[in-house]
Amino acid sequence: MSKLAKFAEKNGVKYFMVSYTDLFGAQRAKLVPAQAIAGMEADGAGFAGFASWLDMSPANADLLAVPDPDAVIQLPWKPDVAWVPTVGVMDGQPVDQMPRGVLKALVARAAEQGLRVKTGIEAEFFLLTPEGDAISDPADTAEKPCYDQQAVMRRYDVIAEICDYMLQLGWGPYQNDHEDANGQFEMNWDFDDALVTADRHSFFKFMVKSVAEKHGLRATFMPKPIEGLTGNGCHAHISVWDLKGKTNVFADASDPNGLSKKGMQFLGGIMAHAKAMTVITNPVVNSYKRINAPVTASGATWAPNTVTWSGNNRTHMVRVPGPGRFELRLPDGATNPYLLQAAIIAAGLAGIEAKADPGARLDINMYTDGHSVTDAPRLPLNLLDAVREFDGDAVLKAMMGEAFSAAYIKLKLQEWQSFLGHFSEWERRTTLDV
């Protein structure tokens, strides 16, 4: 009996969602009866790759999504269904452009160097009306809504249900809060190996949307869904360990920043490749309304626009809140969970290999005094600039994989062209009377 068949028998699972995440982060799945899962586990579920955001054509052979039984998650809100992520195979060969495979390859590359990357993410989202055109709580109007006690309790049923499920799954959730925008929330759970975190991040987005729908609401991770309010970040906390996961190789108590030489080099790689990474960490047109935004209603965007790092200072792209780890504050809610982790590892390993220097630590308030920093690189202003930065970074493209990089650049340029072809209300309003 296959692993998944045994899992079904033991846990009362009737169906499996055999799932993959495409290049744009969309989750694709087939609902497979438990009686048929053994065959899928052996050979994969067949998909037409062109029908999702992958660089394929209708003439391509079947994309076979082969389940990873060690990553299966039973749906707490519908326990007769289990979700299982996959790796892609076509014509007997791995599909190099598929995000989970890109991440697995980089995890293996880090392991060859005796390194085990562990990460945690802070996923922010809005709870909107079903139509998605307004925040769902009409009483959530505070000028400074962050950590609003009353507002979080008005959405207790949704937030507590999601947190209960994470507790049930053993993820170690440890805090939930109302965030800096009206209608916005953040939920945190324990850090883990990069692939585990990516799988959980992917499932979390699915779970939050499903629970919100159950309560008659709409959840969105869109970077900037409401004009004038703080956007959805997806901050990543990064540390690197030995292969046994027992010794933090980033930690050095004798260093003023609490980071070892290898930790500083990994950080140096993030700094060196940040502009190119942005097309992955901030992958949609709307992303650049968050990281290049004017001051929000609360008084701060909480998002960077320059490549700088600091100690425990949230106004920089990277902060070092404590010894042995750092926080990358660049990513937003649209980032692909697998590509986010892959880009972090790729840039960090490139930094170690190049013995990269992260540059000087800055301790100023970048929101008020950033104009005084004249030598810090600016982050891309739009999606096209971000694509061009990635395309021009031969090192990062090679680390991420040439097949993936070519496919991603191609589809992102198509997305940009689609955006340019859109006739906006702004154009009509500002140009009709010329």
Cα–Cα distance measured from residue 101 to residue 282, given in angstroms and rounded to the nearest whole number: 20
Residues 6+ apart with CB under 8 A from 415: 24, 284, 285, 383
Q: Measure the CA angle with vertex 279, ends 278 and 284; round to 5°.
A: 115
Give the other-Cβ count within 10 Å of 82's Cβ: 25
- Return the CATH fold of 105-425: Creatine Kinase; Chain A, domain 2 (3.30.590)
User: CA torsion sign, 211 to 213 to 216 to 219?
Assistant: positive
As a residue count, the chain comes to 434
**For 87, phi and psi rounded to 5 degrees?**
-115, 150
Boundaries of every domain in the chain: 3-88, 105-425
Confidence of residue 294 (pLDDT cuts 50, 70, 90): confident
CATH topology of domain 3-88: Ubiquitin-like (UB roll) (3.10.20)
Choose among 336, 350, 330: nearest CA to 393.
350
Please give the torsion angle defined by the CA atoms of residues 19, 408, 302 and 364, in that order, rounded to the nearest 10 degrees: 140
Residues 6+ away with beta carbon under 8 Å from 211? 77, 158, 161, 162, 165, 219
**Is 3-88's fold the same as 105-425's?**
no
The answer to whether residues 331 and 341 touch, using CB atoms and an 8 Å cutoff, is no
Contact 382, 262 (CB under 8 A): no
Whole-number mean pLDDT of the chain?
97
402-408 mean pLDDT: 98
Q: If residue 33 lies in a helix (H) or strand (E), which one and from where to where?
A: strand 27-33
Confidence band for 323, pLDDT divided at 50, 70 and 90: very high
**Percent of the chain scoring above 70 in pLDDT:** 100
Rounded-to-integer distance, Cα 408 and Cα 279, Å: 9
Predicted confidence (pLDDT) per residue in 55-104, tens digit: 999 999 999 999 999 999 999 999 999 999 999 999 999 999 999 999 99
The whole-number pLDDT of residue 293 equals: 86
Name residue, tokens 């933090």.
248
